[in-house]
C-alpha cells in the first residue's frame, strides 16, 4: 500500500477546502512547487494534485501543475475539472502520470472510453466521491443516485484498474478515515482503490494499515501534512514497512 501526499491548487496557489466548500478555504504559504520538492526530499515517490479552481470552472492551474511535475521528478496523478478531451490532453501534456476523472466520467461512458483511448486505461482513474452516503458530482455540489457496483462493472469493462474513493464529509476535517467506505467500495466495484478524506494523524495511518482492506492500493493525505499533524517522512516510512 502506498502513502500519497496531496496538493490542492486554486489559481496557482496551494489551498485546502473543508469538505470541498469554497467558502471554507485555507491558504498556505509555501509555493506548491517548493512544497512538492520538499515532499520528494522527505521520501515521496508519488504525488496527488487536484486543480480545485478548474473543478469549480475557474481558470486552471496548468502552469503550476507543469512546474510541480518538472520539479518533483516523480510521477504525479492530476485531477480536477477534466471534463473535455482538450483539457485531458492539456493535463497529460503538462506531465501527469495519471488523470483522475469525476463528473463527466460518471455521466458519459463514451467520454471515459475516449479518455482511456487517449491516455491508456492504466492512466485513467475515475473518482467516486461520497457525500451523505450518495455519490457527489459537479465539484461535490450535487448528489446523484448511482450504483457503485454497476459503475465498477462498467469501468472494468473499459479496461480501467483503479478508483479514487473520497469521503467528502470527512475531507479536510481530521476526523479520521472512513475505512469501511473504502472497504465497501473495493468490494462492490471489484477495483483497486485509493482512499481519501479525513486522515489527521499517524494513529489514523496505523488504523488504515491495521484494517487490512483487500484492494486498498493507497491513501491520500493533504491538510494534515501541511499543518504538521503528520510528518511526511514518518508516514512514508510507516507505509514502506
In a domain, 237, yes or no: no
> What is the number of structural domains in the chain?
1
In a domain, 130, yes or no: yes
In a domain, 240, yes or no: no
In a domain, 7, yes or no: yes
The CA distance from 171 to 146, in Å, is 21
In a domain, 239, yes or no: no
Is 97 annotated as catalytic?
A: no
Is 108 annotated as catalytic?
A: no
Contact 238, 205 (CB under 8 A): yes
193-208, pLDDT tens digit by residue? 999 999 999 999 999 9
pLDDT at 224: 96
In a domain, 125, yes or no: yes
Name the catalytic one among 51, 93, 97, 129: 129
Residues contacting residue 110 through CB under 8 Å, at least 6 positions apart:
none
Task: Indicate the burial class of 58 (C-beta count within 10 angstroms; 0-12, 13-18, 19 or more).
Answer: middle
What DSSP element (H or E) covers 166?
strand 162-167
Name the catalytic one among 8, 51, 169, 204: 8
Instruction: Find the Cα–Cα–Cα–Cα dihedral 174, 123, 134, 21, rounded to 10°.
Output: 50
In a domain, 238, yes or no: no
In a domain, 159, yes or no: yes
**CATH number for 168:** 3.20.20.70
161-189, pLDDT tens digit by residue? 999 999 999 998 999 999 999 999 999 99
**Mean pLDDT of all residues in 127-132:** 92
DSSP string spanning 14-51? EEEEETTEEEEEEE-SS-HHHHHHHHHHTT---EEEEE
Q: Is the pLDDT of residue 20 over 80?
A: no
pLDDT at 163: 96
pTM of the full predicted structure?
0.95
pLDDT at 95: 98
The whole domain housing 95 covers 2-231
- Sign of the C-alpha dihedral computed for residues 151, 152, 158 and 164 taken in this order: positive
The CA distance from 197 to 221, in Å, is 7
Amino acid at each position: 500500500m502506498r502513502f500519497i501526499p496531496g496538493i490542492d491548487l486554486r489559481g496557482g496557489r496551494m489551498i485546502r477546502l473543508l469538505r470541498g466548500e469554497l467558502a471554507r478555504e485555507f491558504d498556505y504559504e509555501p509555493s506548491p512547487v517548493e512544497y512538492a520538492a520538499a515532499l520528494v526530499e522527505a521520501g515521496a515517490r508519488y504525488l496527488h494534485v487536484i486543480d480545485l479552481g478548474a473543478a469549480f470552472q475557474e481558470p486552471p492551474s496548468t502552469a503550476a501543475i507543469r512546474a510541480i511535475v518538472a520539479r518533483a521528478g516523480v510521477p504525479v496523478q492530476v485531477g480536477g475539472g477534466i471534463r473535455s478531451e482538450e483539457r485531458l490532453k492539456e493535463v497529460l501534456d503538462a506531465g501527469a502520470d495519471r488523470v483522475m476523472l469525476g463528473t463527466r466520467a460518471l455521466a458519459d461512458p463514451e467520454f471515459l472510453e475516449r479518455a482511456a483511448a487517449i491516455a491508456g486505461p492504466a492512466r485513467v482513474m475515475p473518482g467516486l466521491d461520497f457525500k451523505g452516503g450518495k455519490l457527489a458530482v459537479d465539484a461535490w455540489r450535487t448528489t446523484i443516485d448511482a450504483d457503485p457496483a454497476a459503475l465498477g462493472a462498467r469501468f472494468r469493462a473499459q479496461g480501467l484498474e483503479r478508483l479514487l474513493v473520497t469521503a467528502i464529509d470527512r475531507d479536510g476535517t481530521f476526523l479520521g478515515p472512513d475505512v469501511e467506505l473504502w472497504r465497501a467500495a473495493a468490494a462492490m466495484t471489484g477495483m483497486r482503490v485509493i482512499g481519501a478524506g479525513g486522515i489527521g494523524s499517524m494513529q489514523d495511518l496505523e488504523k488504515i494499515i491495521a484494517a487490512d482492506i483487500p484492494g486498498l492500493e493507497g491513501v491520500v493525505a493533504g491538510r494534515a501534512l501541511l499543518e504538521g499533524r503528520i510528518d511526511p517522512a514518518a508516514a512514508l516510512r510507516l507505509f514502506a514497512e
